[in-house]
Amino acid sequence: MLNIKTKIQPLLLLCGFALLSGCYKDRTVVFESGPEITRTVTFSGDIIPIFNKSCNMSGCHAKGGQTPDLTAANAYNSLTIGNYIDHNTAINSLLYLKLTGKKGTPMPVTGMNKEYNSLVIAWIKQGAKNN
């Protein structure tokens, strides 16, 4: 005859797994944009500094790292050739969706913020020029 402890342990274990599996926390971080930027946004003066501060460090989007290569020398070609820019609908640009965490694996939080996202979306809306 099985004692009560032997019968209850599997039940308690099962209940514990059920409770823990119900405790799911969404780790997706979504960064919306801040206020719309109406001034001219330049690739060299506004976007490259964002990439230099937050994206193109070793192991991330540096030369030989993950695509796209966002180093100053290669960023523009990587973004345009890699179809990261949607000139028709800026908010559907893969670059913007990845930066804000709205598409696929969100970018690690390494300095990205609403101001940076506002600059990126403004640059894309202004034609995503290599200026």
Entry pTM: 0.72
3 state DSSP class of 60: coil
Residue 49 lies in a domain: yes
Does residue 16 form part of some domain?
Answer: no
The range of the structural domain enclosing residue 106 comes to 43-125
> What percentage of the chain exceeds 70 in pLDDT?
68
Q: How far apart are CA 30 and CA 117, in angstroms?
A: 11
Task: Please tell me the predicted confidence (pLDDT) of residue 17.
Answer: 46
pLDDT at 35 over 90: no
Question: Would you say residue 6 lies in a domain?
Answer: no
pLDDT at residue 113, as a whole number: 78
Residue 4's pLDDT is 61
Rg (CA), the chain: 22
The whole-number pLDDT of residue 6 equals 64
What average pLDDT does the chain have?
Answer: 79
How many Å apart are CA 117 and CA 68, to the nearest integer?
17
Measured from the Cβ of residue 83, the count of other Cβ atoms closer than 10 Å reads 11
Q: Is the model's pLDDT at 125 over the cut of 70?
A: yes
77-106: pLDDT as tens digits = 999 999 999 999 999 999 988 888 787 666
- Whether 15 shows a pLDDT value over 80: the answer reads no
Tally of structural domains, the chain: 1
Give dist(CA 114, CA 37) in Å, integer.
Answer: 11
| 114 within some domain | yes
Residues in CB range of 89: below 8 A, 6 or more apart: none
In a domain, 14, yes or no: no
The answer to whether residue 130 sits within a structural domain is no
- Identify whether 107 is part of a domain: yes
On whether residue 95 sits in a domain, the answer given is yes
